Amino acid sequence: MTAHTDLIARRNATIGPYSPLFYAEPLHFVSARGVWLTEANGERYLDGYNNVPHVGHANERVVAALCAQAGTLNIHTRYLNERVIDYSERLLATFAPELDRVLYGNSGSEANELALRISRQLTGSTGVIVSDYSYHGTTIALAELTTGLRTREPLGAHVRSIRIPDLDADPRPEADVLSETLADIDAAIVSLHDAGYGVAASLFDPLFSTEGMPRVPSGLLAGIADRVRAAGGLVIADEVQSGFGRTGTHMWGHEYAGMRPDIVTLGKPMGNGHPMSGVVTSEAVLDAFGSRNEFFNTFAGNPVSAAVGEAVLLEMEEHDLMARARSLGETARARFDAFVEQYDVVRSAKSAGMFLGLDFAIDGVPDPVAARRVVEEMKRRNVLISRIGRDESVLKVRPPLAFGPDELPILLDALAASLDAATVPPGH
């Protein structure tokens, strides 16, 4: 019996037991504000995990913008609406000049599906290259290229996956690792051409979030992009996790990674929880696609979503959340580095601004059990985090960007205590 036995039974009897729940004893939240969530029993938890409430749970500006626009007008894109254009201008101003057009969707999956559809039409090819431990969404096309979550659909015959290296776990010189991975890309391209699929696109998350934030050789994504373009494909950056200033130094993960995509897909933090997503590309790509398709998406790009998206950008600007992610990320990283020194089981620290990880391994063998114990210990200390990576051995610390200097020490001290508790040798 847990405190939530009845609710879990009702959940299983309705939405079913297959939708995963975090924690051995799941949490039941009833409200949230800023970076704190409140459980049904009144206990408060610090959010060190959720990236969707980017500017904070129940953010006042976002809620006010949503309510005001919903109470004024909500309509699809087949009528003129200034709010949607205002937002589009503001959003596109955060991109490099050549990425100057946007199409809207309602989820990251929709954005990636559309990016693939555009790529297939423009190239006349169907082949796609992804990483061998990645996730890009729920549609059939995306299930056929999912390598990082269990799916019933086998990998599509038109899909090639490559291993993303982690220099923290690979003792070879960086240049050797880089050339090996680029050779894998060359081989994938040859294989797609030989099989008659050609190359429609590459699809990578610039931070390799699902992969466990491997430390990749510098120039890796730019090298991949060059090869994919030379093979006739389009380069898609999936920024559903890496975008909107998360890295602290760049608004977009592809800029952080030093590569130039043809298409960028956006989601999660874009609407702070309101379902909205985007496909950002160039005028040339949009013209080629738009002129052949009467593309219309009932809910996407509506004025309520635009109001919400605009409020998110304004909050980010007003509170300088990207700079905050940078400075807090640096402080957190220093402490994470100290954990690597302090605990044998912690192999390496990972970070890009306010997306941090700790990789657990013993004698080079990933240790997911230790990582899971730390996640549970953090919960006992009322702090939410999770795990990522092919072995689920990398802690995932990815709080809302509204996370502030007052909260960071709470998270870091809880992590230190959790590491102590979780790494006590058996028998002590």
Ligand X SMILES: Cc1ncc(COP(=O)(O)O)c(C=O)c1O
Nearer residue to ligand X within complex by CB, 52 or 410: 52
Nearer residue to ligand X within complex by CB, 107 or 386: 107
Binding test (CB under 6 A) with ligand X, winner from 81, 107, 131, 348: 107
Q: Give, as ranges, the residues between 246 and 285 that touch ligand X (CB under 6 A).
A: 267
Of the candidate spans 89-97, 129-137, 256-264, 322-330, the one that interacts with ligand X by CB under 6 A turns out to be 129-137
Which candidate, 122, 129, 215, 115, places its Cα nearest to that of 172?
A: 215
136 sits near ligand X (criterion: CB under 6 A): yes
Nearer residue to ligand X within complex by CB, 108 or 301: 108
Burial 196-207 (b: 16+ CB within 10 A, else e): ebbbbbbbbbbb
Binding test (CB under 6 A) with ligand X, winner from 118, 177, 178, 240: 240
Q: Are 181 and 163 in contact (CB under 8 A)?
A: yes
Q: Alpha-carbon distance 51 to 344, whole Å?
A: 30
- Smallest gap from residue 275 Cβ to ligand X (A): 8
Nearer residue to ligand X within complex by CB, 106 or 351: 106
- Smallest gap from residue 318 Cβ to ligand X (A): 26
Binding test (CB under 6 A) with ligand X, winner from 50, 59, 88, 112: 112
- Smallest gap from residue 320 Cβ to ligand X (A): 26
202 sits near ligand X (criterion: CB under 6 A): no
- Smallest gap from residue 250 Cβ to ligand X (A): 17
309 sits near ligand X (criterion: CB under 6 A): no
Q: Within the chain, what is the greatest distance between any pair of CA atoms?
A: 70
Nearer residue to ligand X within complex by CB, 238 or 367: 238
Task: List, as one string, the DSSP characters of 275-327.
Answer: --EEEEE-HHHHHHHHTT-----SSTT-HHHHHHHHHHHHHHHHTTHHHHHHH
Task: List, as one string, the DSSP characters of 51-86.
Answer: -SSTT-BT-HHHHHHHHHHHTT----TTS--HHHHH
- 């007003």: which residue's tokens? 318
Report the residue number whose CB is nearest to ligand X: 108
- Smallest gap from residue 244 Cβ to ligand X (A): 13
137 sits near ligand X (criterion: CB under 6 A): yes
Binding test (CB under 6 A) with ligand X, winner from 69, 131, 146, 241: 241
Q: Euclidean distance between the first and final Cα of the chain, in Å?
A: 29
Nearer residue to ligand X within complex by CB, 94 or 107: 107
109 sits near ligand X (criterion: CB under 6 A): yes
* Signed CA dihedral, 139, 144, 150, 151: sign only: positive
Nearer residue to ligand X within complex by CB, 188 or 270: 270
Q: Is 384 left (phi over 0), alpha (psi -120 to 50) or beta?
A: beta
What strands lie across the sheet with 234-238, from one edge to the other? 101-105, 277-281, 263-266, 234-238, 201-204, 128-131, 159-162
4 sits near ligand X (criterion: CB under 6 A): no
Binding test (CB under 6 A) with ligand X, winner from 205, 315, 367, 407: 205
Task: List, as one string, the DSSP characters of 129-181.
Answer: EEESS----SSHHHHTT--SS--SSPPPTTEEEEPPP-GGG--S-HHHHHHHH
Q: Give, as ranges, the residues between 138 and 167 that touch ligand X (CB under 6 A).
A: 138
SS3 22: coil
Nearer residue to ligand X within complex by CB, 110 or 407: 110
- 């079913």: which residue's tokens? 16
Query: What is the DSSP code (8-state) at residue 28?
Result: -
Binding test (CB under 6 A) with ligand X, winner from 113, 184, 211, 238: 238
Q: Alpha-carbon distance 316 to 322, whole Å?
A: 7
Nearer residue to ligand X within complex by CB, 145 or 286: 145
Task: List, as one string, the DSSP characters of 126-137.
Answer: --EEEESS----
The first and second tokens of residue 365, run together, are 């063998």
Nearer residue to ligand X within complex by CB, 198 or 278: 278
Q: How many residues bind ligand X (CB under 6 A)?
A: 14
- Smallest gap from residue 280 Cβ to ligand X (A): 14
Residues of this chain that interact with ligand X (CB under 6 A) are: 107-109, 112, 135-138, 205, 209, 238, 240-241, 267
